Amino acid sequence: MLFVKIVHILVCVGLILIVLLQTGKGADMGASFGGGSSQTLFGPSGGATFLSKATTAIAVIFMITSLFLAYDSGTKKTDSVITAPPAAEQSVPADTKSE
């Protein structure tokens, strides 16, 4: 269970980073007029396909771990932090003042 939580946190951070690395939809227009987008790390169009495939793969892992954690939290029976005796065993305090 701890392993799934650690994987989930790492996937969340990775998904955020990959989404932030991607360029916006309007960035292609600037590259056609001589903008600096042609100096990308993965080439002129290689980065878009690599990052979109990586985003898809990490998003699938994120969804699987999210579903697993949601299912596991709903089925696990845990004791309460506050423990009280059952209702049948609770005693009613006697009235100390009798008139």
**Which run of H or of E encompasses 59?**
helix 46-75
Q: What's the rounded mean pLDDT across residues 15-42?
A: 68
Report d(CA 10, CA 85) in Å as an integer. 42
pTM above 0.75, yes or no: no
With cut-offs at 50, 70 and 90, classify the pLDDT of residue 51: confident
Query: What integer pLDDT is reported at residue 13 of this predicted model?
Result: 97
